Amino acid sequence: MIFIANNFEIYLKEEVFLQLLKFEQTIDKRESGGILLGNIYDNKMVIDKITTPKWFDISSFYSFVRNKLGHQQIIKKEWRESVGSRVYLGEWHTHSEFFPNPSDRDKKLINEIGQYKNVNYPVVMMILGLNGNIWMGVNKQGRILIAKRYKVNLCN
């Protein structure tokens, strides 16, 4: 899938999208979430891996709180094994809406991760809704850019 926010392109690998769909939040499921990992180029990001919910995360029908330490270990391992090419790109979680929209808490979080992370590239927040619909926000130098929220093209 390809998402575009202004001139910034985000490529979501098909296998990652299919993995995300396993966590789609139906009426009987709690929110799920994790970390987005991949590569960053000038005006392009490729998301090729995610972390998935862990037993130590906190989840309800209306919120997901990721345990930072557990997921951080995975980020470090991926970075080491890729010799520094696979990096933290942002966060993902689910909503039980057909067209997911960020809550006030989500908006605050995307601002915080954009400021907190000591990186010189944009960070992403992705929200998976029902039927595979995705909302994506990019914090690029303190500005939130919104990407289209519908499935576009699958890429490999």
DSSP state, residue 148: P
> Quick one: CA dihedral 18, 24, 30, 35, positive or negative?
positive
Q: What is the pTM of this model?
A: 0.87
Q: Write down all domains in the chain, each with its CATH number in brackets.
A: 2-147 (3.40.140.10)
C-alpha 41/C-alpha 127 separation (Å) is 23
Per-residue pLDDT tens over the stretch 68-99:
778 889 989 999 999 989 999 999 999 988 88
Q: Are 136 and 9 in contact (CB under 8 A)?
A: no
Task: Supply the pLDDT for residue 12.
Answer: 93
What pLDDT does 114 receive? 67
pLDDT at 28: 81
Does residue 38 carry a pLDDT above 90?
Answer: yes
CA 46 → CA 15, 36, 85, distances in Å?
A: 12, 10, 11
Characterize the bridge pairing of strands 44-50 and 8-12. Answer: parallel
pLDDT tens profile 47-61: 999 998 888 888 888
Residue pair 34/149 in contact (Cβ under 8 Å)? The answer is no
Percentage of residues of the chain with pLDDT beyond 90: 33
**Distance, first Cα to last Cα, the chain:** 9
